[in-house]
Amino acid sequence: MNGAAAHLVHPGDLVIVITYVGIADDVLEEHRPRIVHVDHRNRIVELGEDPAGPVPEADGQRSRRDVATVGG
């Protein structure tokens, strides 16, 4: 890792890695994000396309979609 993470992250820390991409308007509807959840040994436990979905094996979570429906 580069930057602050190289100095502040230690073995065993939970790290969330996010990347962004610029997408042309004409292909925006076709784009599907790739969400990869890994376990404590960096083994893939789930692949998905919903960035608002809950993290596998984490109890007590609510997705943004759940929160949005609570208020109305």
User: What is the domain range of residue 64?
Assistant: 4-70
What pLDDT is attached to residue 15?
A: 79
60 φ/ψ sector (left φ>0, alpha ψ -120 to 50, else beta): left
Name which residue leads in pLDDT, 36 or 71. 36
Tokens linked to 12: 């065993």
The model's pTM is: 0.58
pLDDT in tens, 25-65: 999 899 888 899 888 788 898 898 887 887 777 766 665 55
- CATH code of 43's domain: 2.40.40.20
What pLDDT is attached to residue 63?
A: 59
